[in-house]
Structures are given as C-alpha cells and as structure tokens.
Amino acid sequence: MFLSNRESDDAGTGEVTRVRVPNRNDGEMFGIIVQMLGFDRVRVRCEDGEIRVGRIPGRMKKRVWMRIGDTVLVVPWDFQTEAKCDVVWRYRGNELDWLQKKGILKMF
C-alpha cells in the first residue's frame, strides 16, 4: 500500500496538532479496550470502573484500526448505561503523551 506524501509525513512526526478532550457534559469518558468481540464490537473498561460493550460506528470501521490495549473515548448509551457505549475516538501514542503531560488523562 502506498501512502501519499501528506499521509507519510503525518505518520512519522511526533507532533500533536489537535487532541480531542472528553466533554464531560455529554458524558464522554476514557476507556481501554480489553477484548475484541467481532461484528464491530469491543469490550471496554471505562474510567468509572464499568466494563461495557462498545460499538464501533461505521465511519471508523475500516479507517481506524483498534487493538487490545488502545485508549479510546467512549459515550455511554442513554439506556443500558452500565452495559453499552459508543466508541467515538481512538488516541494515538503522541496524543496519549500530551494528555498525560497536561494531567487530563490519569491511568485507571
């Protein structure tokens, strides 16, 4: 697979241009993927201590690859809040470093 110059330049740099921070008013929180379930679902350990089944939306399905141990941003559902959530964002290594440096992300 060939990458365009723009993609290859972005992939190699350790610079953080923009990092998505959880909006607590909307119920967003950090989570860590513990298990891949298949059918676009993952098991996520959220920062509130709950283990939820997370749904990967179609816009991220083939564009953003996720693995066990990745830190993600999740939003619990309005109903079944303790059991299910939507995965909204996956953080890369340099984004995690920035969040930890700023004190936003505390390992849970």
Whether residue 5 lies inside any domain: the answer is: no
pLDDT value at position 5?
A: 42
CA distance 37 to 40: 7
Among left, alpha and beta (phi > 0; psi -120 to 50; other), residue 49 is left
Domain hosting residue 93, numbered range: 28-101
- What is the percent of the chain where pLDDT is above 70? 84
Give the Cα-Cα-Cα angle 26, 80, 89 (nearest 5 degrees): 45
Query: DSSP character for 101?
Result: H
Q: Which residues pair with 51 in a beta bridge?
A: 45
Query: What's the CATH number where 53 sits?
Result: 2.40.50.140
- On whether the CB atoms of residues 44 and 68 are closer than 8 A, the answer is no
Whether residue 35 has pLDDT greater than 80: yes
Whether residue 106 lies inside any domain: the answer is: no
**Quick one: tokens of 16?**
């953080």
Between residues 15 and 97, the one the model is more confident about: 97
> 54-91: per-residue pLDDT in tens?
999 988 888 888 999 999 999 999 988 889 999 999 99
CA distance 69 to 72: 9
How many domains does the structure of the chain reveal? 1
